[in-house]
Structure 1
Amino acid sequence: MSTEEQQYDVVVNDEEQFSIWSAGRELPAGWRATGFRATKDECLAHIASVWTDLRPLSLRLRSA
């Protein structure tokens, strides 16, 4: 499979920070899959559309 075709999962942690992880690999502790799986570029575009406030959840809650 070429790099352009490799699949990734969009993952999120308890602070609602997003990342991507190679599909099929075990997730590291503290991260969970969001259910979005696609190519790297598609995953990064998805993250850019949903992660509009880059502050960690704990900081957002303190600021509210």
Structure 2
Amino acid sequence: MNGSITDRTYRVVHNDEQQYSLWWADRALPNGWYPEGTQGSREECLARIGEVWTDMRPLSLRRRMEAAASD
């Protein structure tokens, strides 16, 4: 393992459903995940996720619910 949790550099990633996660900065991203732009300590990245991920529902569910509400 390369370092402990506290001394690793992380990045914030998201997928097409607008779900967010942490990923080690020195590792390739899994398919379907994209860098959000924030990179730093675990705490910094978790704080960023807390700022931007305010609705935990996947994007496809939010769209279906919005469409059902407008019918």
Relative to the length of structure 1, the TM-score reads: 0.91
Larger radius of gyration: 2
Identity of aligned residues (%): 52
Shift of 1:49: 1.0
1:20 maps onto 2:6 in alignment:
no
Shift of 1:6: 1.5
4+ runs deviating over 3 angstroms = none
AA aligned opposite 2:17: E
Inter-partner Cα distance in structure 1 for 2:14 and 2:52: 11
Uncovered stretches (5+) of structure 1, i.e. residues with no partner: none
Q: Secondary structure of 1:47's partner?
A: helix
Query: How do 1:1-64 and structure 2 match up within 5 A?
Result: 3-64=5-66
Of Structure 1 and Structure 2, which has the larger fraction of its residues in helix?
A: 2
Uncovered stretches (5+) of structure 2, i.e. residues with no partner: 67-71
Relative to the length of structure 2, the TM-score reads: 0.83
Output one character per residue of 1:2-52: Cα deviation in whole Å (capped at 9) or x when no partner.
Answer: 542311010001111000000021000000001110100110111011100
